[in-house]
């Protein structure tokens, strides 16, 4: 009896060991820690702009820290909607992420009736990366030197003062619309195909004024090619400490920031979402990234996913009202 028991035990051990060995050789290899292959970072605009700049700064730091390439892909078109839609349709595995601006998240839903994504429902919101105020700038020969003087000109010549923008429905266009609504005035909107030609014509005197991202015009301001009347932030910009905010200049309720934020397809695994968010925040605050961003006029936000969602809800409500009141369309 004892011998039988010993043989049975030995047989069981041998069979068990064989089964374990077979399992090790035939089972598929488990995936390694995230990320174990390159990550695609979709920027839904051409290379060289503010959003592209933010994506490349963050992507490079993530590459250094995580040991995998974060490959920037510029998929432009339809005011960012083409690139954003492609991210929405990607697998929610952390290997495709979106770096986009205020327009993609907060204004496209009200400007594009056929938009195929819902920014609140179709993405895992990770963080608002940075924000920057717009600045109200004018050609140096334009007669107004203050916001009050500009408002007077608008009231004397309604619909005649030209406001350049980087395109219909852009942040600078909507900031102008908000400004007109808050001051009871109306300017002449002149849309361009991007910020560069708008700024070029403003410098040349072909248009009068514009609301532009501070980082896009700071060199022109410091070079004397543009004069600045106000900043649209809730406080003065460190780059222009002597320039008042719109609120200080007598126009309340028109605080505006242009911002860039990072998201991924809806349904990220919890551990991947936590890791991505933590590493992105660390990248934004890195000692060789944060000062560079601040020099360009960006303020690091790096908030939590919940804070991003709450912020986006307020932004959607705000720009919906501006667009509806102004009867703004990009078609």
* 216, 231, 246 - which closes a domain: 231
Q: Which of 113, 97, 105, 160 is nearest to 131 (CA)?
A: 105
Residue 238 covered by a domain: no
- Count structural domains, the chain: 2
Dump pLDDT digits (tens) for 192-226. Answer: 988 889 999 999 999 999 999 998 899 999 999 99
Q: Are residues 57 and 88 in the same domain?
A: yes
By residue range, what is the domain housing residue 210?
A: 133-231
- Residues 184 and 120: beta-carbon distance below 8 Å: no
Q: Are residues 149 and 221 in the same domain?
A: yes
Confidence of residue 31 (pLDDT cuts 50, 70, 90): low
What pLDDT sits at residue 166? 86
Confidence of residue 137 (pLDDT cuts 50, 70, 90): very high
Residue 2 covered by a domain: no
Q: Are residues 81 and 171 in the same domain?
A: no
DSSP, residue by residue, 210-234: EEEEHHHHHHHHHTTSSEEEEE-SS
* 186, 214, 231 - which closes a domain: 231
Dump pLDDT digits (tens) for 261-305. Answer: 999 999 999 999 999 999 999 999 999 999 999 988 899 999 999
Q: Are residues 119 and 137 in the same domain?
A: no
Dump pLDDT digits (tens) for 40-95. Answer: 999 998 888 889 999 999 999 999 999 999 999 999 988 899 999 999 999 999 99
Q: Are residues 196 and 60 in the same domain?
A: no
Q: Are residues 321 and 175 in the same domain?
A: no
The CATH number of whichever domain residue 264 belongs to comes to 3.40.190.150
Residue 282 covered by a domain: yes
pTM: 0.85
Biggest alpha carbon–alpha carbon distance for the chain:
112
Residue 239 covered by a domain: no
């Amino acid at each position: 009896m004892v011998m039988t028991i010993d043989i049975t035990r030995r047989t069981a051990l041998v069979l068990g060991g064989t089964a374990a060995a077979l399992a090790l050789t035939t089972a598929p290899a488990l995936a390694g820690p995230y990320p174990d292959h390159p990550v695609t970072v979709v920027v839904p605009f051409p290379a060289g702009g503010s959003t592209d700049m933010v994506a490349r700064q963050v992507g490079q730091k993530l590459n250094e820290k995580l040991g995998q390439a974060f490959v920037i892909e510029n998929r432009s078109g339809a005011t960012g909607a083409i690139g954003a839609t492609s991210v929405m349709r990607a697998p929610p595995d952390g290997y495709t992420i979106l770096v986009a601006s205020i327009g993609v998240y907060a204004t496209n839903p009200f400007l594009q009736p056929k938009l195929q994504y819902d920014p609140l429902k179709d993405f895992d919101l990770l963080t608002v990366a940075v924000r920057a105020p717009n600045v109200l700038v004018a050609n140096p020969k334009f007669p107004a030197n203050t916001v009050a003087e500009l408002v007077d000109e608008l009231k004397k010549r309604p619909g005649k003062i030209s406001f350049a923008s980087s395109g219909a429905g852009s942040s600078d266009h909507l900031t102008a619309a908000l400004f007109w609504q808050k001051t009871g005035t109306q300017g002449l909107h002149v849309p361009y195909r991007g910020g560069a030609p708008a700024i070029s014509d403003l410098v040349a005197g072909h248009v009068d004024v514009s609301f532009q991202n501070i980082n896009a015009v700071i060199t022109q301001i410091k070079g004397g090619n543009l004069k600045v009347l106000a900043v649209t932030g809730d406080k003065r910009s460190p780059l222009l400490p002597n320039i008042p905010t719109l609120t200080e200049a007598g126009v309340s309720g028109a605080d505006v920031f242009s911002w860039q934020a990072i998201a991924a397809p809806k349904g990220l695994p919890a551990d991947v979402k936590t890791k991505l968010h933590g590493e992105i925040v660390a990248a934004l605050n890195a000692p060789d990234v944060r000062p560079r961003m601040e020099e360009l006029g960006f303020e690091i936000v790096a908030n939590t996913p919940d804070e991003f969602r709450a912020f986006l809800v307020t932004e959607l409500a705000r720009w919906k009202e501006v667009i509806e009141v102004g009867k703004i369309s990009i078609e």
